[in-house]
Amino acid sequence: MNKHILVIPGDGIGQEVTTWGKKVLELIAKKYNHTFSFDSALMGHVAIEATGNPLPDETLAKAKATDAILFGAIGHIKYDNDPSAKVRPEQGLLKIRKELGLYANLRPIKLFDELLGASSIKPEILKGADILFFRELTGDVYFGEKKRSEDRKTASDLMVYSKYEVERIAHKAYKAAQTRGKKLCSVDKANVLESSRLWRETVQEIAILYPDVQTEHMFIDNAAMQLIKDPKKFDVVLTANLFGDILTDEASQIAGSMGMLASASVGDSVGFYEPIHGSAHDIAGRGIANPLASILSVALLLDISFGLKTEANAVIAAVEKTLKQGFRCKDIADKTTSENMICSTDKMGEIVLGNIL
């Protein structure tokens, strides 16, 4: 297979972990006789520094012309502490999602058995949990009108959804549920929010088209609690942009750490693959970031964008074997991990590469 992949490492640990995602793609191409060509592009703080724009036109043009995108993370501490900054790294990410029509963000949450002890949740509650989140990505408060009063003492963000935006992601989520446990939980706040009432009505209409899937509607506050109380009860979770953002960070504890969670953003055109974590200022530049979320994002890329299931499974199996061998980055180590099994980013990457069959 002949494919072109655009690598956008971004900022902070985004750069450190994406190096390994790319190396995995190169090795897969070699072992399975594919030709993958690569290009790279700037986004986020590094792009602002170089061009003044968090998403330079050149990056967007390259993104529109490639077969798949491997992304790292954006963000810099200087913007986190300056909410009034007009040009911000995250604008680049929001714009590329919108421009590429990436409306569905898939976040699989599955705990590798070897990491049962790494989570802050009890192993007996976690074992067997396997959830696929569908987070809507191009609507909600992220894109609605933002206002500040003249005296700057009142602010608002418009939470807005159109019916077609709910329909298109709901269809994707139901189709996925049909291939999994045939259960879908739609999460909203329909007791309070009008946009959630539209969300619920629309999902109820679409549910009729998928009679083999059992539908449940849950309020976000309840879902946040149930996710930790009994994660095994969930199969596919469908939710809006803001609720999905928060719930999936919470759900990262089911997978052991943010450093383990991969995601795929899909929609009208090219697929966009990235770890769910950010640029992690607290550990950036120290060589200790866990690269497994980026490597697992590569597995999603191979499977979803290129239809290469065997190759995707080879990547997942290599991660599993590495964990079975006892290797851990700091974020997924527990009391039982001996010092010599705690890996740097590069060591973890090398071991996974060596385990790819």
Residues interacting with ligand NAD, by CB under 6 A?
Answer: 13, 17, 73-75, 80, 90, 93, 258-259, 277-283, 289-290, 293, 331
Helix axes 309-324, 13-31, angle to 10 degrees: 120
Nearer to ligand NAD, 93 or 237 (CB): 93
Greatest pairwise CA separation for the chain in angstroms: 63
Mind giving me the DSSP string for 191-218?
TT-HHHHHHHHHHHHHHTT-TTSEEEEE
Nearer to ligand NAD, 217 or 278 (CB): 278
CB 39 within 8 A of CB 67: no
Least distance (Å) from ligand NAD to the CB of residue 12?
A: 7
Locate 26 and state its tokens. 């190169």
Any idea which residues carry the catalytic annotation?
142, 189, 221, 245, 249
**Helix, strand, coil shares, percent, the chain, to 5:** 45, 20, 35
CB 299 within 8 A of CB 316: yes
Least distance (Å) from ligand NAD to the CB of residue 163?
A: 27
Least distance (Å) from ligand NAD to the CB of residue 258?
A: 4
Strands (E), the chain: 2-10, 35-40, 68-73, 104-110, 130-136, 146-148, 155-157, 183-188, 214-219, 236-239, 262-266, 271-275, 328-329, 342-343
Nearer to ligand NAD, 314 or 348 (CB): 348
Least distance (Å) from ligand NAD to the CB of residue 293?
A: 6
What is the distance between the alpha carbons of residues 25 and 299, in angstroms, rounded to a whole number? 9
What is the distance between the alpha carbons of residues 348 and 292, in angstroms, rounded to a whole number? 8
For β-strands 130-136 and 146-148, DSSP reports them as unpaired
| Residue 350 burial (10 A CB sphere; 0-12, 13-18, 19+) | middle
Least distance (Å) from ligand NAD to the CB of residue 75?
A: 2
Residue-wise burial string across 234-250, b where 16 or more C-beta atoms lie within 10 A, e elsewhere:
bbbbbbbbbbbbebbee
Nearer to ligand NAD, 146 or 233 (CB): 146
Least distance (Å) from ligand NAD to the CB of residue 194?
A: 28
Nearer to ligand NAD, 128 or 287 (CB): 287
For β-strands 155-157 and 68-73, DSSP reports them as unpaired
Of 354, 339, 356, 323, which is closest to residue 255 (Cα–Cα)? 323
Nearer to ligand NAD, 5 or 17 (CB): 17
Locate 183 and state its tokens. 């259960």
Least distance (Å) from ligand NAD to the CB of residue 60?
A: 17
Nearer to ligand NAD, 186 or 265 (CB): 265
